[in-house]
Amino acid sequence: MIEKKLIDIHIHNGNDTTNIIAIKNYFIDQAISLQPDDRISVGLHPWHIDETMSQCWIDQLNNLAKLPQVLAIGETGLDLRKGPSLDIQTEIFIKHIEIAEAHNLPLIIHCVKAFPNLIELKKRLKPHSPWIIHGYTGNAATTAQLIRHNFFFSFGKRLLLPQSNLSETLKMIPKEFIFFETDDSGLSVEVIYQRAAEIFHCSEVELIDLIFRNYQKIFEHSAKK
């Protein structure tokens, strides 16, 4: 029987533990040294886009995407609060989308105040790879729209805030479209699972089982595994 572990789909500093599988995020402009068992995502964060940068990161990302350790492309995306113009961010984001499609890998998306733009791109490009919005904090109206377009959602530390409406948002989402993460919080993903189990009125074991199946379906399906 496969041992079902907790899944943390987006972490910056931290590693697997005995009961957690973690997908560590690397920025393409960061030194990357990989061990055979690592699981990572890699991309160019919109905040790191330098308008004078050369195109060589695209080849680099394409090469990395072939490695068995690379389970997702990202984080990448659109941020209307920070970073270069939306046009430039969109151009860079589309490169990531193309690479994700070419390698049959899911996309880990950073999206701030740009959900209409994100939906528009998905409608236009009709990607096959799953699009996962990380650190999701959207309201009910935005969530309903994103659900209609088959987005996946990853919830992190904001789910723990008592004043947050995110518990209502979480309950709206079909369970096959949910993931959890700790990002740069330094928390253990276990506390996110505990909170989510409370919200769903289910056991932690049920939730571990569910998210593990989601993980296998989305991250372990690709032909190179």
Type of residue found at 201: H
End-to-end CA distance of the chain: 19
Min dist CB 11 to Zn ion, Å, is: 8
Min dist CB 181 to Zn ion, Å, is: 8
Distance separating alpha carbons of residues 117 and 192, to the nearest angstrom: 29
Q: Is 79 in the site for Zn ion (CB under 5 A)?
A: no
**Choice between 108 and 166, CB closer to Zn ion:** 108
Distance separating alpha carbons of residues 32 and 71, to the nearest angstrom: 15
Site size with Zn ion, rule: CB under 5 A: 1
75 alpha-carbon distance from chain centroid: 7
Q: Which stretch binds Zn ion (CB under 5 A): 64-72, 167-175, 180-188, 204-212?
A: 180-188
- Buried b / exposed e across 120-152, counting CB within 10 Å, b at 16+? ebbeeeebebbbbbbbbbbeeebbeebeeeebb
Q: Is 181 in the site for Zn ion (CB under 5 A)?
A: no
Q: Which stretch binds Zn ion (CB under 5 A): 47-55, 91-99, 111-119, 182-190?
A: 182-190
CA triple 130-114-189, angle to 5 deg: 55
**Choice between 79 and 215, CB closer to Zn ion:** 79
Min dist CB 202 to Zn ion, Å, is: 27
Min dist CB 72 to Zn ion, Å, is: 12
Q: Is 183 in the site for Zn ion (CB under 5 A)?
A: yes
Min dist CB 10 to Zn ion, Å, is: 6
Neighbours of 197 (CB within 10 A): 16
Which residues, numbered 15-74, are part of the site for Zn ion (CB under 5 A)? Answer: none
List residues binding Zn ion (CB under 5 A).
183
